[in-house]
Amino acid sequence: MHQMSGTLQHYAWGSTTAIPEILGIEATAEPQAEYWLGAHASAPSTVDGQPLDQLIQQNPGIVGTASVDSFGPCLPYLLKVLAANRPLSLQAHPTRAQAEEGFARENEQGIPLDDPKRTYKDSWPKPELMLALTPFDALCGFRDTLKTAELFEQVGIPALDQMVAPLRLRRGSAGLMEVFLDALGQTDERRDLANETVARCLPHVEDEGDFGDFCRTAVMLDEYYPGDGSILAALMMNRFTMQPGEGVFLPAGNMHAYLKGTGIEIMANSDNVLRGGLTPKHIDVDALVSVVDFDAAPVELVRAVEEAPGLSRYPTPAPEFALWQLDLRDGIEVRLPATGSGRTLLVVDGDLTGSDGTTLKKGEAAFLEAGEDVTVTGNATAFLAAPGV
């Protein structure tokens, strides 16, 4: 195992304490939103003091033959610790074909990669799995259209009833897309309607049931994005809370927004984000519509499947990544899986020791080259990432 150091990302929505607590570093007043462990060109980790993307270019074999055959000489996954203290933007991610086309198009247009109006930062898709370390609130996908119409109508604003009428008249994705795009509008009319909706919801934030959840979401979003018309769009989405150990898989096209909590996130090695609202950043509605899946469906949580004592895998269909959780207790020895692949091991609690003599404490990480066969013991909770092929 090789010592690995990641990169902190200081986004405004981040927590000032959660990631420092996990990494064992001093907290500052600056929000620390994400800790990246991977080889993305914009923020590569270092392995034994050298940038991981450069190491892979020099010796692609450390990632593994199957991964290189499928994805080329790169690390196809990016492992993160994410700590949200306030809602992230409404967003979706592209398929591989959409990412390749969008990246090439913006290159041809001469838009610099660091331009705030750039949508595609690379040519990769971004399926992702978010796994809760603390209670984790999120919006994901779209609620049943009739249920959404009923909740909006319960607010008791005629103009709001008119806005959501297509949900009843045009069942399915067509009506959902029409109302969602209307709700994204940042016109004075939509901002006024959002403000009135929040005001009507305030007396119901302690209510139980679906309408109480609906109202709490409206008031929470208004706290951070006051007068933002896209609050109305967010209210069409499924809101749910994950408990520690539960996860959610987000395929391409899934509209989502993380609201609050700390978790482990693994994704394809991409930074492509198409935003739809709740953000001061660039929004390209046409690009967003081209990737979003407007089929309404409930949220399905992902739970770990035990593969051996102390070792569980979170199953997803993504070929770019796989994720295991290690719970080392009572002398359990775990042989790290995926020996034919380049892997990332992150300890989030306790400490462990590898059969190669490496010791990792809470907050420390290691990179294992393809072919390294390591058994670990200790008293720790850790996560292991690898290519999914």
The residue assigned the tokens 């927004």 is 257
DSSP string for residues in 12-70: TTBBSSHHHHHHT----SS-B-EEEES--TTS--EETTEEHHHHHHH-GGGT-HHHHHH
The answer to whether 164 and 142 are in contact (CB under 8 A) is no
b/e per residue, 217-238, with b = 16+ CB within 10 A? bbbbbbeebeebbbbbbbbbbb
225-133-272 Cα angle (round to 5): 55
CB 277 within 8 A of CB 295: no
Q: Report the SS3 class of residue 389.
A: coil
Residue 78 pairs in a beta bridge with 267
**Catalytic status, residue 335:** no
Instruction: Determine contact, residues 277/337, Cβ cutoff 8 Å.
Output: no
Which among 190, 191, 275, 343 is annotated as catalytic?
275
298 Cβ contact list (under 8 Å, min separation 6): 141, 144, 238
What are the tokens at 40?
A: 């993305």
DSSP 8-state symbol, 164: H
DSSP bridge pairs for 2: 367
Per the document, the length of the chain is 389
Residue 176 identity: L
* Positions marked catalytic: 275
